[in-house]
Chains A and B, each alone.
Chain A
Amino acid sequence: MHILSTIIEALPYILEGTLVTIVLVAGALSLGFCLGVPMAVAQVYAPRPAAMLVGFYVWFFRGVPVLLLLFLFYYGLFGLIGLDVGTIGASCIVLGMTSAAYQSQIFRGSILSLSAGQLKAGKALGMTNGQTIIHVILPQALRLSIPGWSNEYSILLKDSAMCFALGTPEIMARTHFVASRTYEHLPLYITAGLIYFAITMAGVTMLRRLEQKARIPGYNSAGM
């Protein structure tokens, strides 16, 4: 009974952390999306220097642990340029920039899977490359990206636990805080695990629904 009351007592505090985690993930995914889409387009269509720049960005952010990036940016770079956005802001930015690297490759793969003819058809109608990319290429590529993006969501959600190291008051940090005081490690970490599990499932289910909804009529779900 003692265990149960500890959990019940700690739950509001941990759930507040859940809100922080959700903000972190939503912010990072949005930032990653906003950067990732133009990066993918640049890598496929832009002249070589721009494409190479994106390649370098992706190489860097995929090649270094998230924990190191968090420390590098929060304690290092942000201090250097005098940027103070707090732990939540900093976590969001670093997770978002990392996610942009991964998301750009999801989108790039989808763009490359479309036939080159789609761009040609747009050009033949007098549309500019930009118009064709925005109105023809991206609507199709983003649909194809949803399964990969759902993967990125679930990975990012769990990576967000690393922000604990900056003192960001998210699920992991708060659970650790309570556990270190009450010594009820097992039940508390199980609770935190269940919360992560629930958010993962909720997000993945929503994305699966979106995928169904965005499906182009005439294409079967097996994807022909």
Chain B
Amino acid sequence: MNAPQNDTPILRAEHFSKYLTGRKILDDCSISMRPGDVKVLIGPSGAGKSTFLQCINCLLEPDEGEIWLGERRVDFKNTRELYDLRQHVGMIFQDFKLFDHLSAENNVALALRKVRGLSKAEALKRAHEELARVGLEDKAKLYPAQLSGGQKQRVAIARALAMDPTILLLDEPTSALDPELVGEVLTVIRDLAARGMPMIMVTHQMEFARAVATEILFMEAGHVIEQGSPEELLAPGAQTRTQDFCTRLYELCGETPVEEG
């Protein structure tokens, strides 16, 4: 299924820089998202991938740079615009960050009630729909501590989708999971991509990135140093940093190199 093509980006993050404890963690990074785009951030640890991602919904406020939602520039110093931005940009964390004291259904329903102002019944109805979409309708009453890692991450995805985000940020969504649980989460993400949900994802799942990404951004030391389609960057003999990095990643993991995948 092809997502509708449109010339106006739905979200642009432009010339982001971020200093943490006096060090420049992020240096002039930009990304632009059109409908149906799935962009993957890769790079060595400490490259600034997570920082970049968290600046996009201002969980970390960028020190320099601009965020545009469609035609409108977001003034993230203005709290109203900031909260509005975060409603448009859903986020999935490496460690799920489910609300530990709430059942799966209430994890999804809470923000619907408090941010969207839905009634309890409406919010729970929507929560059940979203949980069904990630295949967890029978786990609605269970608490995070009663779920497996993969189930927790799927609840987190349902929770983010319930807010009808225009774009989804995923920060290493499978790296805290046991290997046998990675597949169920990737399936959900793959479905989202197929339905045209724009996503920016930090991941080390290169097979997956190659299969679903429309673009790969390779980051190192706070810079985006390579950027292009997976076919370009990972073509046999492309001699890109991206390919070099991936090859080393596969050597470490002992998986098949990307060229053969």
Contacts and interface: CB of A to CB of B under 8 A. Distances in A.
B95 A117 contact: yes
A126 B159 CA distance: 12
Nearest to A124: B91
Size category, A interface: 20 to 34
Contacts of B73: none
B143 A121 contact: no
A46 to B, nearest CB: 16
Interface stretch (A10-18, A59-67, A133-141, A172-180): A133-141
B114 interface: yes
A143 B160 contact: no
B63 to A, nearest CB: 19
B159 A125 contact: yes
Size category, B interface: 20 to 34
A120 interface: yes
B59 A123 contact: yes
Interface stretch (B36-44, B82-90, B189-197): B82-90
Contacts of A216: 100-101, 143, 145
A217 to B, nearest CB: 5
Interface in A125-159: 125-128, 131, 135-136, 139-140, 143
Contacts of A128: 79, 83
A218 interface: yes
B111 A125 contact: yes
Contacts of A122: 99, 111
B145 A126 contact: no
Contact of A136 (B79, B93, B99, B163): B99
A140 to B, nearest CB: 5
A120 B97 contact: yes
A126 B86 contact: yes
B60 to A, nearest CB: 10
Interface in B143-188: 143-146, 159-160, 163
A122 B107 CA distance: 10
A139 to B, nearest CB: 5
A123 to B, nearest CB: 6
A217 B101 CA distance: 8
Interface in B43-98: 57, 59, 79, 83-84, 86-87, 90-91, 93, 95, 97-98
B67 to A, nearest CB: 15
B62 to A, nearest CB: 15
Nearest to B83: A126
B145 A131 contact: no
A114 to B, nearest CB: 8
Contact of A123 (B86, B101, B145, B146): B86
A218 B98 CA distance: 14
Given A126-B115, A127-B111, A218-B144, A121 B87 contact: no
B250 to A, nearest CB: 31
Interface string A24-52: 00000000000000000000000000000
B42 to A, nearest CB: 22
**Which 5 residue pairs across A and B have the least CB separation, nearest first?**
A218-B145, A126-B87, A121-B97, A125-B111, A218-B146
